[in-house]
Amino acid sequence: MKSALEQLGGASGGSLPDVVFEAPRATAPRRVSAVRRSASSAPETPEEPSWSRKVLGFLSQLRLADVLVGISLLVLAFVLSCACVPSLIAPFLPTDMRSDAILVAPGAAHFFGTDQFGRDVFTLVVYGARQSLLIGVFAVLISCGVGVSIGLTAGYAGGWIDTILMRFIDVWMAIPAILLAIALSTVLGPSLHNTILAVSVAAIPRYARVLRGQARSVRSRPFIEASRAAGASHWAILRRHVLPHCSVQILVMATLGVGGSILVGSGLSFLGLGVNDERPDWGYLLTQGRSYLTVAWWTVTYPGLAITALVVSVNLLGDALRRRFDPRSAPR
């Protein structure tokens, strides 16, 4: 359902002007440098005409979709390095408060400006990457694991097991996801663990529904009956045959799910139910900046931009995976 930019690349194969094909090389580093503002300039084209022609030839073979995937990977790599080693990337410490630099507009000293405490917004965004990424990845691991187990069991077993599990999922789905996450985090209290738990519980039904359908269609294939006849246990069939047949679907859903989880997690932070002040995630930064909206647009704009860049990248990757593996959406 959440296909992102599905046919943008596929359709535009050869019809775009060359300018667009050259864009990848130019945009890829520029994207990163826009975030880092490091003075890295684009690689110089050497004098040899043959070499540059080779590069041009290579570039003109790239489809827009591949380019987008490349950019997404770069963004992901950058966010990942922010999450792993923020101190190497951020120019300041997230705890540095400077009373002489409160709500300073973006400039040479602070690329993203400073917040109401005189903290460097860029530094805060870099340090927030870890929280947001942790929420996205772990929420998907949990929800995907549980949802896939429920879905596969229901679809493969069929009969009353299927009925009971799916009725349960119906009920689960009847509570809108964010509201369920709100209810859970209200009871559990705000913290990173609880945010992850709340986000993943709310996301489980979707995986279960889709995987149940997949498992049902696999179950009716002759080779399942053959393995049963050959004496394979149900567990072995589920693990060796049904699960591998659904793996592409799982991969695509999980990739797209990372984006969704980050969004729900940031929504919880916005409502004051998410990660606390000590290690602010992007959603929390955004919420903080909201009070200074009219005087300091940068405090809300950059954290939001970070969320969006990450989620767009994840969605693009998910779509690329889908296009790659799903024969139905391939040519259009």
Partner 1 sequence: MLRRILERVLVSLGVIFGAVTLIFLVLNWLPGDAATLVAGDDASAETIAHVRAKLGTNRSLGAQYRSYLAGLVHGDLGTSYVTREPVVSRLAAQLPATAALTLAACSVAILLGVGLGVLSALNHGRWFDQVVQAVSLFWVSMPSFWLGILMILIFSVRLGWLPVIGDGGLLPSVLPVLTLGMVVSVPLQRMVRDGMLEGLHEPYVTTLRAKGLGERRIFYVHVLRNALTPTVTLLGVLVGELLSGAVIIETLFARQGIGRTTVEAITQKDMPVVQGAILIASVSYVLVNLLVDLSYNWIDPRTRLATSKGTR
- The CA distance from 21 to 57, in Å, is 10
Chain residues in the site for partner 1 (CB under 8 A)? 1-8, 11-12, 15, 167-168, 170-180, 182-184, 186-189, 259, 263, 266-267, 270-273, 283, 286, 290, 293-294, 297, 300-301, 304, 307-308, 311-312, 315-316, 332
CB of 203 to partner 1, least distance (A): 13
d(CA 283, CA 210): 29
Pick the closer one to partner 1 by CB: 10 or 96. 10
In the complex with partner 1, the residue whose CB is nearer, 19 or 187, is 187
Nearer to partner 1 (CB atom), residue 237 or residue 275: 275
User: Could you tell me the smallest distance in angstroms from the CB atom of residue 239 to partner 1?
Assistant: 30
Considering the complex, state which of residue 6 and residue 96 has its C-beta at the smaller distance from partner 1: 6
Q: Specify whether the CB–CB gap between 24 and 62 falls below 8 A.
A: yes
Residue 128 token pair: 């927030």
Contact status, residue 200 vs residue 138, Cβ threshold 8 Å: yes
Task: Provide the token pair at 84.
Answer: 């792993």
In this structure, what token pair is assigned to residue 186? Answer: 């209200």
> At its nearest, how many Å lie between partner 1 and the CB of residue 41?
27
Q: Work out how close the CB of 229 gets to partner 1 at its nearest, in angstroms, rounded to a whole number.
A: 29
Q: 243 or 263: whose CB is closer to partner 1?
A: 263
User: Between 139 and 243, whose beta carbon lies closer to partner 1?
Assistant: 139
Give least dist CB 176 to partner 1, A.
4
Sign of CA dihedral 120, 125, 126, 131: positive
Both tokens of 257, joined, read 């799910």
Helices marked H in 85-117 — which ranges?
86-89
CA-wise closest residue to 129 among 182, 189, 98, 88: 88
Q: How many CA atoms lie within 13 A of 157 on its CB side?
A: 15
Minimum distance of partner 1 from residue 57's CB (angstroms): 24
